[in-house]
Amino acid sequence: MRTAPDVQPSANGAPRPDAEDALTALVGLVQEDLDACNRLIIARMQSPVQLIPQLAAHLIAAGGKRLRPLLTLAAARLCGYRGERHVGLAACVEFIHTATLLHDDVVDESDLRRGQASANAIFGNKASVLVGDFLFARAFQLMVADGSLEVLDILCSASATIAEGEVLQLVIQNDTASTEAQYLEVIEGKTAALFAAATRVGAVVAERPRSEAEALESYGRNLGIAFQLVDDALDYSAEQERLGKTVGDDFREGKITLPVILAFARGDEAERAFWRRVLEEKRQEEADLAHALSLMHRHNTITDTIDRARHYGDLALAGLAPFAECPEKKALAGIVEFCVARAR
């Protein structure tokens, strides 16, 4: 289960009209801020060590929706902020996210990221890890430049939680005895923590009451959980173009995600023996992925994973309840559908 990439188009390559409209609306509301954020990202990726901007340019060319920084920008505007601090913090959030992607691809030995060759496939593992460290350092420079100890605490805590989530994933990897609670702990760390921090700092820079900061944090955390649940379901149901990876990557790597956990729990002893062989022992044969998919469909585990994602999407929407109706609130609500709609 890798960290969720930015959302991608539908299986045939065309945008999903309703979901894509939500993203377009959000970008339109913060376009000037987003442009400033992108300029700052490019500027801070520069270094006299040529391999760093070279690898960084590869990452930029790979695309991505900049969803996490968009959340920071929109949350700040939702809270009435009209300064410039949120631009630097949005760039900080993107640096943290990109650094974790670089590290994840090395750990997962992934060859693809967003449909293109991953940085580690081109530049090697050592360069990817070190440039990831460089991006983390840039993120911390931006935090310090902001000058707020509260912001520093939020983003530092999120960075630590992300690392804890990654380590916990290693602990339960290939272990079919892993529980749904452990899985949720992993995705709350690896994915949801940064979503939560990205939205909370928007309220903090606007100097809004703690209750509003906590509401936005809840929105972000539950959105992040929904996002990762959908991503893990799609690993067993999506075409390669849709997520920028081949179907069954998690299966081949022995990752324990919710579709597997549910299939193992609902299966008979013969089915459980199959899961132990392919995931714990990693003795996989050519027909095993197809058999795994058939077991998941038999026990409705992909459908149930997506249903859970919708549940967390509803919780995310509840986090917006304290805020008055406005274009930013409508756009942030639309982003919930944008994330969950990938499962259609």
Q: Is residue 267 part of a domain?
A: yes
Q: Which two tokens stand for residue 170?
A: 């290693």
Whole-number Å distance between alpha carbons of 318 and 71: 16
Question: pTM for this one?
Answer: 0.90
Instruction: Give the SS3 label for residue 283.
Output: coil
Q: Is residue 2 part of a domain?
A: no
- Angle CA(261)–CA(263)–CA(267) in degrees, nearest 5? 125
Q: How many CB atoms lie within 10 A of CB 32?
A: 10
Q: Is residue 10 part of a domain?
A: no
Q: What is the DSSP-derived secondary structure letter of residue 117?
A: E
For the chain, give the number of residues.
344
Q: How many CB atoms lie within 10 A of CB 167?
A: 12
- Average pLDDT rounded to a whole number, residues 261-271: 97
The predicted structure's pLDDT at residue 17: 45
Could you tell me the pLDDT band of residue 70, with boundaries at 50, 70 and 90? very high
Least confident span in 144-148, 181-185, 309-313, 339-343: 339-343
Q: Is residue 7 part of a domain?
A: no
Whole-number Å distance between alpha carbons of 179 and 19: 32
Q: Is residue 164 part of a domain?
A: yes
Q: Is 290 exposed, middle or buried (0-12, 13-18, 19+ CB in 10 A)?
A: exposed
The predicted structure's pLDDT at residue 280: 93
Q: Is residue 4 part of a domain?
A: no
Q: Is residue 11 part of a domain?
A: no
Identify the CATH number of the domain in which residue 204 sits.
Answer: 1.10.600.10
Least confident span in 56-65, 163-172, 256-265: 56-65
pLDDT digits (tens, 9 = 90+) for 328-341: 999 999 999 999 98
- Average pLDDT rounded to a whole number, residues 116-130: 82
- Average pLDDT rounded to a whole number, residues 112-131: 79
Q: Which domain holds residue 152?
A: 20-335
Least confident span in 48-57, 77-86, 330-339: 48-57
Is the Cα dihedral 189, 225, 130, 159 positive or negative?
negative
Q: Is residue 138 part of a domain?
A: yes
* pLDDT above 90 for 13: no
pLDDT digits (tens, 9 = 90+) for 159-192: 999 999 999 998 888 899 999 999 999 999 999 9
Residue with tokens 């609670």: 181
Between residues 117 and 126, which one has the greater pLDDT?
126
Number of domains forming the structure of the chain:
1
* pLDDT above 50 for 9: no
| Spatial contact of 218 and 319, defined as CB atoms under 8 Å apart | yes
Between residues 104 and 309, which one has the greater pLDDT?
309
| Spatial contact of 196 and 220, defined as CB atoms under 8 Å apart | yes
| Spatial contact of 202 and 71, defined as CB atoms under 8 Å apart | yes
The predicted structure's pLDDT at residue 244: 55
